[in-house]
């Protein structure tokens, strides 16, 4: 495993088998997401997205917390003018444009902004001890980074409203039952399971992976007919890649393909 040469304030970043691993690293406050952490995280995601050595990204915390939400210390004294001036969600919006798959490996608390961050990832592997929730209502506010929008699209109106209005966390099992997470594994196996999945994806042709991700997000944003046309154009585009030629040739020659990302 290569530790990526660069100084991080709130993250630990490694690269192994074309998979980058980002660990949120403010354990003393359960990885509360302060402004500096989110800036650093998004800058890092964008840098890894441009790095040809990286094909998939795993985002994780520690056994106690993925992230217990936005840093309440930073918000406690802030008024509306200050919050508007900070414009802190602009940086969150940039996560949407990361082209490589991001897998969240979630143990412990994923609350508020922590749950929103997990939902901003493409896939979620949960450890048995994971707890997902949107407790903002208990603080007199509401989610601001997708809690009402992504959660509703993922689990439907009734379940989203119950989670949002009560502020009560749900277990990993419940999160799996309602379709919020891909699978639940023993807590100690969570990161390994996410890495296993990431390595499988990292073996696939990168341009096909990228366009599949793009087309699925398009499905959430557009009509069926427009989405179908978008999909078709992505499909045609892949016929310009060397990896398409290699993939089909390898099939016909009954051997494993070797994809180059071209």
Cα 87 to Cα 40, 55, 84, 114, 237: the distances in Å are: 16, 31, 5, 18, 37
Determine whether 229 is an active site residue.
Answer: no
Nearest to 101 by CA among 48, 163, 144, 171: 48
Residue nearest to ligand HXC (CB): 112
Q: Which stretch binds ligand HXC (CB under 6 A): 69-77, 96-104, 173-181, 203-211?
A: 69-77
User: Applying CB under 6 A, which of residues 54, 55, 71, 123 lies at the interface with ligand HXC?
Assistant: 71
Determine whether 136 is an active site residue.
Answer: yes
- Rounded Cα distance, 91 and 79, in Å: 20
- Rounded Cα distance, 198 and 122, in Å: 11
Residue 219 parent element (H or E): helix 206-221
Please identify, using beta-carbon distances, which residue of 59 and 197 lies nearer to ligand HXC: 59
Q: Reduced to 3 states, what is the DSSP secondary structure of residue 174?
A: helix
- Rounded Cα distance, 128 and 173, in Å: 7
Please identify, using beta-carbon distances, which residue of 30 and 185 lies nearer to ligand HXC: 30
Q: Does 73 participate in binding ligand HXC (rule CB under 6 A)?
A: yes
Q: Which stretch binds ligand HXC (CB under 6 A): 15-23, 65-73, 222-230, 231-239?
A: 65-73
Q: Does 127 participate in binding ligand HXC (rule CB under 6 A)?
A: no
Q: Which stretch binds ligand HXC (CB under 6 A): 5-13, 104-112, 170-178, 210-218?
A: 104-112
- Rounded Cα distance, 52 and 12, in Å: 20
Q: Does 61 participate in binding ligand HXC (rule CB under 6 A)?
A: no
Q: Say if CB 125 and CB 175 are below 8 A apart.
A: no
Residue 85, C-beta contacts closer than 8 angstroms, at least 6 positions apart: none
CB of 154 to ligand HXC, least distance (A): 17
Q: Reduced to 3 states, what is the DSSP secondary structure of residue 3?
A: strand
Q: Which stretch binds ligand HXC (CB under 6 A): 141-149, 187-195, 221-229, 231-239?
A: 141-149
User: Applying CB under 6 A, which of residues 61, 113, 127, 205 lies at the interface with ligand HXC?
Assistant: 113
Q: Does 144 participate in binding ligand HXC (rule CB under 6 A)?
A: yes
Determine whether 70 is an active site residue.
Answer: yes
User: Applying CB under 6 A, which of residues 61, 101, 127, 143 lies at the interface with ligand HXC?
Assistant: 143
Q: Does 56 participate in binding ligand HXC (rule CB under 6 A)?
A: no
Q: Say if CB 118 and CB 137 are below 8 A apart.
A: no
Please identify, using beta-carbon distances, which residue of 127 and 135 lies nearer to ligand HXC: 135
Q: Does 112 participate in binding ligand HXC (rule CB under 6 A)?
A: yes
Please identify, using beta-carbon distances, which residue of 109 and 259 lies nearer to ligand HXC: 109
CB of 160 to ligand HXC, least distance (A): 15
Token match 């699925």: residue? 216
Residue 40: phi and psi, rounded to 5, are: -65, -40
Which residues are the active-site residues? 70, 113, 116, 136
């Amino acid at each position: 495993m290569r530790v990526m040469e660069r100084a991080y304030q709130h993250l630990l970043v490694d690269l192994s088998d074309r998979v980058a691993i980002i660990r949120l690293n403010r354990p003393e406050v359960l990885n509360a997401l302060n402004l500096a952490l989110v800036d650093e995280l998004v800058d890092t995601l964008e840098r890894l997205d441009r790095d040809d050595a990286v094909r998939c990204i795993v985002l994780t915390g520690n056994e106690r917390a993925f992230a217990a939400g936005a840093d309440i210390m930073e918000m406690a004294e802030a008024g509306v003018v200050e919050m508007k001036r900070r414009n802190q969600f602009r940086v969150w919006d940039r996560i949407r444009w990361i082209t490589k798959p991001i897998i969240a490996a979630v143990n412990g608390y994923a609350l508020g902004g922590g749950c929103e961050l997990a939902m901003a990832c493409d896939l979620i592997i949960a450890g048995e001890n994971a707890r997902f929730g949107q407790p903002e209502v208990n603080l007199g506010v509401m989610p601001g980074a997708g809690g009402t929008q992504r959660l509703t699209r993922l689990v439907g109106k009734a379940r989203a409203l119950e989670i949002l209005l009560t502020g009560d966390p749900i277990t990993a099992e419940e999160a799996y039952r309602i379709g919020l997470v891909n699978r639940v594994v023993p807590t100690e196996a969570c990161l390994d399971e996410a890495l296993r999945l990431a390595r499988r994806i990292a073996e696939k042709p990168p341009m096909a992976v990228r366009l599949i991700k793009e087309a699925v997000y398009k499905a959430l944003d557009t009509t069926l007919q427009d989405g179908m046309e978008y999909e078709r154009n992505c499909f045609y585009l892949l016929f310009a890649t060397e990896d398409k030629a290699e993939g089909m040739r390898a099939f016909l020659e009954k051997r494993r393909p070797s994809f180059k990302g071209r």
